Structure formats: structure tokens, C-alpha cells
Amino acid sequence: QQPVQSPQAVILREGEDAVINCSSSKALYSVHWYRQKHGEAPIFLMILLKGGEQKGHDKISASFNEKKQQSSLYLTASQLSYSGTYFCGTGPNTGNQFYFGTGTSLTVIP
Amino acid sequence: GAVVSQHPSRVICKSGTSVKIECRSLDFQATTMFWYRQFPKQSLMLMATSNEGSKATYEQGVEKDKFLINHASLTLSTLTVTSAHPEDSSFYICSARSPGGLFADTQYFGPGTRLTVL
């Protein structure tokens, strides 16, 4: 049930771009993206509800390919504050469950 | 925005004791709440889905008798770890699903509870 994310970890220099992918073996109803800092609860970034949908705010955006059961998170011109672990989250069409992906550790260095 | 509180934030207990963790949605009613467990450097693993007024739905491998969940009202769900053992030490996080609107399907997380069983 757990979506698989890639890469597992990435290190960037400030100002560089990154892409985090999320892939599910099950049909996706929606895709959520969260960022978690060490020792803290996850913080909601965005939700994509329809296949083909793209969203973004500031320099973080995401896309959702419903047919491929995939989503990608794009971080452009990364800032030090972007460091953390990113999780995608998905739920099925039926039922209430919600599963987090395997996680991607992102470290931005000066 | 929607706020979810969790109490306590940190608890240390002796092996064999029971620990209760509360999860409250402060400014909205949540018919569905989720309980997750997170071990160091791992993802959040869904333990159970808690529905107000009905029995919780547990994920495969999660012991119902050990992790008791009660969703007594639209704003409160509790997780009781019974007869806790050192292997139950973990970060427990609850979340509540928002009731509707633009972010109808968004989950809001509590700050988490760090459980250490000695």
C-alpha cells in the first residue's frame, strides 16, 4: 500500500533545483505532499485531486499523473529552509485509509 | 487553519504500564482521525483509522488489543498503549481529516507524542 519515493536522499546547494517522485501500485484518488523537520509533525504543502493537475506556491510545485499513478514535487531555487524529509501521501478511491510514501530526505547546504 | 493538539508531547514509562495519548481537533469536527507511528529515519506508518462512534479500522500487523483506540466525539480520539514494552518506544502522531471546503481531503497533524518505555 505504501507509495515508493525516489530518490531516498538528495543534497543540494542553495539555489539548485530538485525533483522528488512518488509512485503507487494502487490507483490514486488524490496525492498530498508534506515536509517534516526532525522531531516535528509533518507540515502540509499541497494536495492534488485530479489527474493532470499541477499546483504550486512560491517555488514549490507538483504534478499528478493519474494514469501512471505518479506524482512529482518540484523545488526550484532551493533555500536552506527547504531541508527536511518530504513525504507524499495517498488514499484509495474507497475507504478512509491514508498512506505515506517512503520519504525523501532533502538537505540544502550553503 | 485547522489545529490539532496532542497530549502528552512526551512520556516516559516503565515496561508493563499503559499510556494514553489524546488527539483533539480544536477548531473543527473530525469524523475521521488517523494514528501513525514513526521510528527514527523511517516513514509514518498508519496504525489505524478512527471513526467517530464506531470501531477503529486497524492496519495489518497492528494488535488491536495492545493499541486501543476510542473516538468518543467529533473532536477527540485517544490511543492507549497497553502493557507497553521497550519496542513500543516510538513517535506517535495523530491526524484529523478536515470537514470540507477547498482542502476537503487535507489532513492536519498533531505535534506528536514521543513515547519511551524503559
Residues 6+ apart with CB under 8 A from A1: A26, A97, A99
Report pLDDT digits (tens) over A60-104.
999 988 888 899 999 999 999 999 999 998 865 555 677 899 999
Comparing alpha-carbon positions, the chain A residue that sits nearest to B39 is A39
Nearest in space to A109 (alpha carbons), one of A85, A86, A87, A79: A79
Going from the C-alpha of A39 to that of each of A35, A76, B15, B42, B117, the distances in angstroms are: 12, 25, 23, 12, 18
Task: Tell me the sheet residues that pair with A44.
Answer: A34
Q: Considering CB atoms only, which of A42, A96, A103 is closest to B32? A: A96
Three cell numbers written together for B98: 478536515
DSSP string, B73-113: ETTEEEEEE-S--GGG-EEEEEEEE--SSTTTT-EEE---E
Helix, strand, or coil here: B19?
strand
Task: Tell me the sheet residues that pair with B37.
Answer: B45, B92
Q: Considering CB atoms only, which of A40, A97, A101 is closest to B43? A: A101
Three cell numbers written together for B74: 467529533
* A44: contact with B, CB 8 A cutoff: yes
Distance from CA of B28 to the nearest CA of A (A): 17
Distance from CA of B27 to the nearest CA of A (A): 17
Chain B residues lying within 8 Å of A103, measured CB to CB:
42-43
pLDDT band at B104 (very low <50, low <70, confident <90, very high): low
Mean pLDDT on B83-96: 95
Chain B residues lying within 8 Å of A98, measured CB to CB:
34, 46, 49, 95, 107
Give the pLDDT score at B105: 65
